[in-house]
Amino acid sequence: MLYIFFFFVFLLTRSTKMADQPLNPQNRIKLRDGRYLAYKERGVPKDDAKFTIVLVHGFGSSKDMNFNVSQELVEETGIYFVLYDRAGYGESDPNPKRSLKSEASDVQELADGLQIGSRFYLIGISMGSYTAWSCLKHIPQRLAGVAMVAPVVNYRWPSIPKSLLKNDYRREVLKWSYWIAKYFPGLLHWWVTQNMFPTTSMLEKTPANYFNDQDIEVLKHTKGFPMLTKERLREHGVFETLRRDFLVAFADWDFDPADLPDPFPSGPGKSPSSVHIWQGYEDKVIPFQLQRCLCHKLQWIKYHEVPKGGHLIVHYEGVCDAILKSLLLGEDLPMYSPKAVVTEP
């Protein structure tokens, strides 16, 4: 029942192919409430950049997340990246008052502290997509464009049709996981640190339950999942960060994404910015039907589907290059159009 709670720990914990700037790993920005956010810069130097992108990591990840983009594209296009540890992750201070709005506020204060300009691009990966949705709601004036890659879906959103929820077992799993995480944190902490809890071994023995074939190939080249060790989970701070992040992502939101207005309406003097969702057709964590439904309601979202992609599409060769070309240059490959997928399940 609780496996999905910790499933996202597996995602995006590997280093990237982008060149790091020679920075002190302790670089941090002080926020108005006294907390510090740790960050890392990648890509071309900030002063030489044509595009500035803030990358938001997912559940259990950090500013060392994987974004498998070619260095050639980064240099030719002139892309400067800022990656940061979300509250409580890595070297950033925890936020006991974490909320949807605080996630957007952290992004805005990070941008102001680093003086990256009045507008910037934002890419949210997996669970980091709820931060992206919050930014679209609370600070749309700061965004030049947004991409969400394998974004999580909150089954509490009123706009999700009941017909799509009826036979989706994930809804019940998340419902009970949320209830236990919220009301019985002590029991949950005990459960996940006991030897009886299968954690990593269970997932590694039955990968087909969670990953498609391409995801499994990706997993063969990883070095393990340190966030899921009982030693790390026994740390109160680590456990609480994961629990609070999970609760914010899947609680009742103060808005439904389907009700958001187009943040980049066309018109005189308007830039050709856009919002994108990238989804794997064979994603076993988030069904593609939910993403298609949302994008049908929000016609201003450009929807891209990786035909044989699972939940780990950010690791696939060429996908991150395609994400950047579409977001920054407006170049879309027909192979990632959902129309290219002929057979429905």
**Cβ(292)–Cβ(320) under 8 Å?**
no
Query: pLDDT tens across 229-260, in order?
Result: 667 677 888 889 999 999 999 999 999 999 99
| pLDDT(28) > 70 | yes
Model pLDDT, residue 273: 65
Model pLDDT, residue 334: 93
| pLDDT(162) > 80 | yes
Judge whether 345 lies within some domain. Answer: no
| pLDDT(16) > 50 | no
CA–CA gap between residue 315 and residue 330 (Å, rounded): 22
Work out the percent of the chain whose per-residue pLDDT is above 90. Answer: 65
| pLDDT(219) > 50 | yes
> Angle at which helices 236-250 and 185-192 pack, to 10 degrees?
120
Length of the chain: 345
Q: How high is the mean pLDDT of the chain?
A: 85
* Average pLDDT of the segment spanning 32-52: 97
Model pLDDT, residue 237: 85
**Greater model confidence, 158 or 65:** 158
Model pLDDT, residue 14: 39
| pLDDT(51) > 70 | yes
Radius of gyration of the chain from its Cα atoms, rounded to whole angstroms: 19
Confidence of residue 225 (pLDDT cuts 50, 70, 90): low
Model pLDDT, residue 5: 47
Model pLDDT, residue 192: 75
Model pLDDT, residue 229: 61
**Greater model confidence, 140 or 191:** 140
Judge whether 116 lies within some domain. Answer: yes
The domain in which residue 159 lies consists of: 3-340
**Greater model confidence, 205 or 172:** 172
Model pLDDT, residue 268: 63
Judge whether 147 lies within some domain. Answer: yes
CA angle 279, 250, 30 (to 5 degrees): 90
Count of the separate structural domains present in the chain: 1
| pLDDT(223) > 80 | no
* Average pLDDT of the segment spanning 71-97: 96
Q: Which two tokens stand for residue 70?
A: 């070619």
CA–CA gap between residue 25 and residue 256 (Å, rounded): 37
Model pLDDT, residue 196: 45
Per DSSP bridges, beta strands 143-149 and 275-280 are parallel
Model pLDDT, residue 209: 66
Model pLDDT, residue 345: 40
* Average pLDDT of the segment spanning 219-225: 65
Model pLDDT, residue 220: 79
Q: Residue 125: give its domain's CATH number.
A: 3.40.50.1820
Confidence of residue 218 (pLDDT cuts 50, 70, 90): confident
Confidence of residue 271 (pLDDT cuts 50, 70, 90): low
| pLDDT(228) > 60 | no
CA-nearest of 151, 139, 147 to 55 is 147
Element (H, E) at 70: none
Element (H, E) at 21: none
- Phi and psi torsions of 278, nearest 5°: -115, 125
Confidence of residue 226 (pLDDT cuts 50, 70, 90): low
* Average pLDDT of the segment spanning 319-338: 95
Model pLDDT, residue 300: 94
Model pLDDT, residue 231: 72
| pLDDT(22) > 50 | no
